[in-house]
Every structure is written in C-alpha cells, then in structure tokens.
Structure 1
C-alpha cells in the first residue's frame, strides 16, 4: 500500500505546482496518472520514488518501489549496470567467484547469488541479449534505454512500479511486450503516459491538475466519455450564459430608450406648463441622476454575466477554443504525387529492405510507415522528399510542396520569438494585426508574442507549427509527421488530431501510437522489413 498525505510541491521560484494531494494506492491497483504538460505528473512520481522531497506532506509505504524514468539522455554517463543500480552487486559477485570472498563483498552481495542470471534473463526478455552490463548507456538508442529500465523490474522484483512515459521510444514489438506485462503483472502500477492504448489497459484514471487529483473509476475510454459529458454540460451552460448576456444587454438598451422617451415627454410637459428655469434645471438633474443610476444597475448586471462567461470559456479544453482554418484550396484530390517502383536503399554496401517497395502517394491519401527501430523509416522519408536517391528501383515525383515535421519540431527557429517565427511563414499577404489574430487562435496571447521559441514546450512548438502552416498562403500538398505524439500530452495530441483531420492533403505518418493513427483515419500502411 502507498499513502500520500497532504503532499505539496513548490518550485525553486516559489511557484506552487500542486498542493494538499491525498491519495491511497492499494496493492495490485493499476493506475493511469494523466494531466496537461506542466501539471506535475513526473514530479509526483519522483516524490513517490523518493527522488524528490515535497515542501509539505508525507509518503508512506512498506512495499519496495521501482521507478522507470522518462528517457531524455540523463543516464548517458552510466553503464547499464550503474543505471540499473546493480553494478556493485555484480562487481562483488565477480570478485567472490574469482576467489576474493571478503566480508565487504559478501555484505554487498547480500546473498543475492542469482543477480547475474536474473540480469541476463531480464535483458533477454526485452530483446537486449546482445548488450553487456558494462556497456555505456550513451551507445544505446532511446528505445533500448527505456527497455533497460523496464528489464530492471524483472531484476529487482518490486511490489510497486512507477512508469514515466514507458512507451515513448518503443517500437510496436516492444510495446506489445510492455502491454502484456501491464495486463499480467500483480505489481501495483502507477503509470504516466500519453499512450492511449496503454492507458486503456489500466483500471483507474487519476487526473492531476491545479485543483488536485480527480479519480475516474475506469480506463481511458471511460475517462474520455466522462470528460465529454462534463464538456457537453459546460458548453450547454456556456450557451445559456451567452443567451443571458444578450438578453441583459437587450433589456439594458430597451430600458434606457424607454427612460429617454419618458424624459423627453416630461420635458415637453414642463415647458408647456411654463415652469421657472430653476425648477426646470432641478427636474432635469433629477432625470439625469435617475438615468445614471439605471445605467449603473444594468452595467453591473451585464459585467457580472460577462465575467461568468469569461470564466466558463476559460474552463473549456484548449482544443475547443482553437480554430484551425487550413487553406486547402490548391489541393487536387486524386493527383499522383509520388510513384515508387521496386525501390530500395543502400546500407553498408548492401540493400536495406528485404522486399523492395512499390507504392503511390495520391493526393488526399493517408498513409502510415511502419517498421521496427532501425528499419529505415527516416531513410524512406528522405527518398520521398528527394533528399536521397534510392540505391535500386525508380522513384517518380511530380511537382509538389511538402512539409516535414519531426518530433522536435525542427522547422521552428529557436533563435526567433513566437511572433517572428509566425512572420517567417507569411507570404506578405497578412498584416501584423492578422498574424496576431492567428496566434491568438492557437492560444498564443499578447504575453506570448515575444517569448523565445527555444523556451517553448513540445506542445507549444506543435501549436506554433500548426499556426505557421495556416499563415502560409496555401496548405502543402504533403505533410509528413515523424513520431508527432512523442513529446505531447493528451490534450495537445487531441489538438494535433483535430488540426490534421481538417487538412485535406496527403498525410504520411511515422508513429507507433496506434490510437492516434486510428483517430486520423489512416487508410494504408507501408511496412518496412
């Protein structure tokens, strides 16, 4: 069992990340921990793992905990054994087997005589049998590094496992092994992930936000259905509040018009009655004060409704606030853009693919490129873009415009600020005011326009990239997405999905995220072997 009591975490700059988190995790619970980027999911996992200390509160557990971190190169200076925290045991075992059975070595080994065999079996389970424990982590791919830490579960045999984006760098084969583990294990699991297929395997969804943790008693699809109900109710309340605001403004206008007519009739009667000037001025001042009071009363009511409306709009998910507006007018569906006839790429003097590739890219089609890590997906993209020539076969390309968007959004120039980056895609048709309207549509307000692109999160870079595409005079004939969901939270994946589904051109996607591929209506798969 894992118990969190009043957990609060404050950044070094004194900003509150989350506060008063109370949570009880029972044995064999399988929990998905989700939330927007910056909500503190990874921080909370590190607190549970004992790697960070909260500003307030306590974490209690009598069970052993194992933590699989999100991989971004932070272990490059470690050997595999060091990363798995078994290097001292392995060293002690080897020295004992070499005849140096010292008290220090026996104490370090702590009767764990099977540590070497378990390590070999664990690495083999994750298809890493070719690796040596003394090998440095920097020599491994992102997927291999993740699998090293996943192998640690079999080595350490903990009761509680914390997983931070475990499927991020894994190919489909490795994801299948991960999914099978999650389904079959008796471990208690807390998983941070944007992989919705993985999230659907878990029993309960915990959503972390500024408000704390909200519990949804089901998998991700159940959570999404409940959120849709909440959003539908919010939209209905929003519509009702908009009607209320229009009605209040209408009543305000009618009341003031009626008051003006009454004042005008009263003035005519007073003039006919021949009242003295001083009396006329007094009556005029009284009428003006009455009208002013009426204006104030209506203004307060309208302002209050407008304030409520603003708060309701602020509570809408970002995907519901955005307007994409791709200009697809130049795209001609059915046009053949690329034809590949028995093409193959070169690799160490030989050919890369066992089976040559034959395919066509037809305008408006949606195609996924699939293959294990190292199968040549990026190579094929370069061939399609005309950046490489195939070693064998023929590739025919008609005149077309293509945009290649990698997972790091390298088209974004980190030396520019947000507004300058948007201007880079302006063909000269849009004025400054129009550019800023487009940026607002993609949730970049006035305070963001001077923000340096280098400081943007993955989700922000994705939104800015989409904004730049809408600023261009015409949508490209082909958009190529290379692992587009790797650095995005679920909310930003939904934004990307909505944008891509408005685009009418040719879509070519490299992704291991089967849920995302289903959502964007992939029609055909090119499989590399």
Structure 2
C-alpha cells in the first residue's frame, strides 16, 4: 500500500510545485495520474520512487517501487545489466558456477538462481532476444530502451510499478504488449501517460493540479465525461457572472443618470427660491456626497462580480484561452517538393531498406511516416530535408523552407530566456510589445518573459515553439513532427492538434498515436519495412 499525506515539493530555486497532496493507493490498484504539463506528475512519481525527497509531508510505502522514467539519457554510459541493477547478481552467479563459492557472492545472489533465465525470458517477450546484457544502453533506440525497462518488471517482480509515459517510443507491436501487461498485471500500477487507449485500461484516474489530487472512480472515458460536466457547469457560471456584470454596469449608469437629473432639478428650485449662497453650497455638497456614496456602492458591487468572474476564467482550460494563427505557405498546392527514385541508404555493409524507395511529396499533403523502431524513419526525414544523401538512386528537392520539430523541441535554446527565444525568430522586425503580445497569446504572460527555457515543461516548450513560428514572417513550407505528442499531456496535445489543423502547408508526422493522426486529418501513409 502507498500512503501520501500533506505532501509538498519545492524546487531548488524555492518555487513551490505542489502542496497538500493526499492519496491512498491499495494493493493491486491500477491508477492513471493525469494533469497539465508542469503540474508535477513526473516529480511525484520520482518522490514515490525515492529518486527525489519531498519538501514536507508524510509518505509510507510497503515495498520498494520499480520505476520506469520518461527519459533514459542518464543510462547511456552504462550497460543494460547495470541499468536494470542486475549486474552484481549476474557476476556473483557466474563466479559461483565457476567455483568461487564465497560468502560475499552468495549474499549478493541471495538465492536468486533463476536470474539468468528470467532475463532471457523477459527480453524475449519484449522482442529483445538479440540484445547482450553487457552492451551499452547508448547503442539502443528509444523504443528498445523502454522495452528493456519494461522487461525489468518480470525480472524484479515488484509489488508496485511506476510508469512515466511508458508508450513513448514504442511501435505498434510494443504498445500491444504494453496494453496486455497493463490488463494482466497483478501488481499495483501508477501510470503517467497521454496514451488514451492505455488510460482506459486503468481503473481509477487521479488528477493532479494546484488544488491537490482529485480522485475520479473510473477509467479515462469516465473521467472525460465528469470533466465535461464540470466544464459545462463552469461555462454556465461564467455566463451568469457576465450577465450579472452587464446588469450591474447598466444599473450603475441608470442610477447615475437619474441622480444627475435630480441634482439638476434641485439646483434649479434652489436658484428660483433665491436661497443664500451658504445654503446653496450646503445643498450642493450634500448632493455630491449622496452621488459619491451611490457610485461607491455600485463600484464595489462591480468589482466583486469582476473578481469572481476572473477567478472562474482562471479555471478555463488553456485551449479556450489561447489565440492561434498561422500564415499559409506561399507554395501552390500540388507542387512537387521531393521525389525519390529507387533510393536506398546503407549503414555499414547493410542496405537500410529491403526494397528501394520510389515516391514523391507534394505541397499541402499531410503524410504519416510509419515503421517499426529501426526501420529508418529518421534517416528518411534527413534525406527529405537535405541533411543526408542516399547511397543509391536519385532524389530531387524543390526550394522550400522546412522546420523539423523533434520530441525534445531542440529548436528551443535552453540557454535563452523565453523572450530572448521569441526574439531569435523575429525576422519580421516586430516591436518588443508586439512580440510580448504574441507570447501572451500563447499563455506566456509577464511572469514567463525572463524565465529560462530550460525550466519549461514539454508542453510549454511546444507552445513556445508554435509561438516562435507565428512570430517569424517566413512560414514553413514543410513542418516535420517527430513523435510530437510524446512529452505532452492531453490538454497540450489538443492545443497542438488545433495549431496543426490551422497550418495549411505540407505536414510530415512520425507518430504512434493513432488518435492524434486521425485528428490532424492525415491523408497518406508512408510505411517503411
């Protein structure tokens, strides 16, 4: 069992990430942890895993969780066995089998005589039978690294498993194996994911936000239904408040006009009556005080309603606050941008594709580039963009402006601040206030302008990248998206989907997210084998 009470985490720079986190997870619970990018989902998993320490609160966990992180770069310089924390056991087993039966080796092995068999079975199950446990992690693809850690579940057989975006990098067959594991697992699962098919396999959704954790007793579809009901209620509250605000302003205006007429009528009567100046001044002062008092009452009411309205609007989804806008590509639709004839590439002595590729890409197309891990998708992208030449066959490229957006948003310079990053794309010579207006449209308010890009979440970097593209006066003719949804929460995937659907140029997308491909209206699939 896992128990969290009043858990708090503060960044090293003293910024509060979350507080008052309360959650109880029972044995064999299968939980989806959802929330906006930057809410702290990955950080919370790291705290539960023991990678990070909370700033305050209480955490109790029955057993050591098995944790699969979202990123694996930190393991590149070690072997698969070291990454899985089984190297010492394997060495001890080999030493014992070789006759070195010492107390130290027996203690390290801890009677785990089947460790080698479990490793072989687990790697084979995930399609990794060709891997050597002593090869470096850096030699593996992103999908293979994920599968290695997934194989570690069967090797270690933990009671609690923490998964941070486990379907990232996995091809279709890998995802099917992951879904089967989720359904059949008898251990406790806590999963952070944007994969809606995976989320629907989990029994409970826990939403992490600034308010803490709200538990929804059902799968993701149930959660969406509840959020829709909440959203409709919020919309109704906002409309009611807006109506009340209009009514209050109208009443204020009518009252002010009526008071002015009364004051003017009273003044005329006083003048006709020939009252002394001192009396006239007294009447005028009283009238002014009365008008000011009435105005104050109405102003206070308007301020109260306005504040309530602003608080309600803060709860609106980011999608409803954003203003997108992309210019069209200058190339006419149907223009041939890239053509390949009997093209192939080679790594070492091996040709990359069994059959040479012949195809063309025309302006305005929406293409999904598919293939198993290692099928050459990245190589083909580099050839299309002119960064690489094939070893055989011919290619032709029309003049075009292409932008390649990878899943790490490498076009964002982490050494720059948010405003500086936007300024770098300012080839349209926009004024400072115009750039800041664009940033605000993409939810980068004043508090963000001096923030380092390195501190941005995946979703924030995606929004900044989209903002930069709108600041530039050179609209891309081709946008290449390489696994664009991998590091995004669902809300930011919806933002990206809306932005992509406004873009009218050529789109090439590498993605295993079938739902996303459907939403952006992909017209053609190039499948590599």
- TM-score calculated relative to the size of structure 1: 0.93
Post-superposition offset of 1:477:
2.6
What is the aligned partner in structure 1 of residue 113 from structure 2? Answer: 113
CA contact (8 A) 2:28 2:188 kept: yes
Kept in 1, the 8 Å contact 2:38–2:457? The answer is no
Determine if contact 2:319/2:494 at 8 Å carries over to the other structure. yes
Report the equivalent of 1:433: 433
Larger CA deviation: 272-281 vs 490-499:
490-499
Write out aligned runs for 1:498-509 (5 A).
498-509=498-509
Give the direction of change, closer, same or farther, for the CA distance of 1:474–1:267 in structure 2 (3 Å limit): farther
Secondary structure of the residue that 2:487 maps to in structure 1?
coil
**In 1, are the aligned partners of 2:346 and 2:352 still within 8 Å (CA)?**
yes
Tell whether the 8 Å contact from 1:401 to 1:478 is kept in structure 2 after alignment. Answer: yes
**Gap change, CA 1:347 and 1:93, over 3 Å in 2:** closer
- Residue 38 of structure 2 aligns with which residue? 38
Does the C-alpha gap of structure 1 residues 212 and 457 become closer, same or farther in structure 2, counting only changes over 3 Å? Answer: closer
Residues 12, 452 of structure 1: CA spacing in aligned structure 2 closer, same or farther, 3 A cutoff? Answer: closer
Of residues 346-355 and 374-383 in structure 1, the stretch that sits farther from structure 2 once superposed is 346-355
Deviates more, 1:36-45 or 1:97-106: 36-45
CA distance in 2, matches of 1:382, 1:155: 38
Partner of 1:368: 368
The residue number in structure 1 matching 2:230 is 230
Between Structure 1 and Structure 2, how many residues are aligned? 529
Deviations 1:90-115 (A, max 9, x none): 22211111112222322222221111
Please give the secondary structure, in 2, of the residue aligned with 1:90: helix
In structure 2, the partner of 1:67 is 67
- The aligned residue for residue 303 of structure 2 is 303
Give the superposition deviation at 1:55. 4.2
Q: Which residue of 1 aligns with 2:191?
A: 191
Cα shift readout 1:347-394 (whole Å, capped 9, x = no counterpart): 335532122333333333221101122222122222222333333444
Q: Do the aligned partners of 1:351 and 1:391 also contact (CA within 8 Å) in 2?
A: no
Do 2:428 and 2:472's aligned partners in 1 also have CA atoms closer than 8 Å?
A: no
Instruction: Write the mapping of 1:437-456 to structure 2, written as runs, cut at 5 A.
Output: 437-456=437-456
The question of 1:288 aligning with 2:288 is answered yes
| TM score, norm. by length of structure 2 | 0.93
Shift, 1:336, TM fit: 4.0
CA distance, structure 2, for counterparts of residue 357 and residue 260 of structure 1: 83
Aligned counterparts, 1:142-181, within 5 A: 142-181=142-181
Matches within 5 A, 1:490-501: 490-501=490-501
Q: Deviations over 1:117-150 (max 9, x none)?
A: 1112112222222222233333333332222221
Q: What is the CA-CA distance between 1:285 and the residue it aligns to?
A: 0.7
| Post-superposition CA distance 1:468-510 (Å, at most 9, x none) | 2222336333211112122222222221112112222221101
User: For the structure 1 residues 409 and 234, does the alpha-carbon distance in structure 2 shift closer, same or farther, using more than 3 Å as the test?
Assistant: same
Q: Which residue of 1 is the match for residue 216 of structure 2?
A: 216
- Which stretch of the first structure deviates more once superposed, 3-12 or 240-249? 3-12
Query: Displacement of 1:175 after TM fit?
Result: 2.1
Q: Which residue of 2 aligns with 1:24?
A: 24
Report the CA distance shift for 1:12/1:348 in structure 2 as closer, same or farther (over 3 A).
closer
Quote how far apart the aligned CAs of 1:269 are: 1.4
1:398 and 1:100 mapped to 2: Cα distance?
Answer: 67
Shift, 1:256, TM fit: 1.1
Bigger mean CA offset, 449-458 vs 165-174: 449-458
Give the aligned partner of residue 479 of structure 2: 479
Coordinate RMSD, CA, aligned = 2.4
Contact 2:366–2:521 (CA<8 Å) still a contact in 1?
A: yes
**Whole-Å Cα distance in 1 between the matches of residues 378 and 472 of structure 2?**
25
CA distance in 2, matches of 1:368, 1:236: 40
Q: Do the aligned partners of 1:328 and 1:474 also contact (CA within 8 Å) in 2? A: no
Counterpart residue number, 1:457: 457
Residue 14 of structure 1 deviates from its aligned partner by 4.6
Structure 2 unaligned blocks of 5 or more = none
Q: Distance in 2 between matches of 1:184 and 1:90?
A: 28
Q: Secondary structure at the match of 2:85?
A: coil
- Greater Cα offset, 18-27 or 121-130: 18-27
1:411-449 Cα offsets, whole Å, 9 max, x none, are: 234454333332333343643332221111001112322
> 1:281: how far off?
0.7
**Which sits farther off after the overlay, 448-457 or 507-516?**
448-457
Q: Which residue of the partner structure matches residue 103 of structure 2?
A: 103
How far is 1:254 from its partner? 1.6
- After superposition, the Cα gap between the structure-2 partners of 1:347 and 1:61, relative to the gap in structure 1 and judged at 3 Å, is closer
Q: Distance in 1 between matches of 2:505 and 2:194?
A: 27
Where does the alignment leave 5 or more consecutive residues of structure 1 unmatched? none
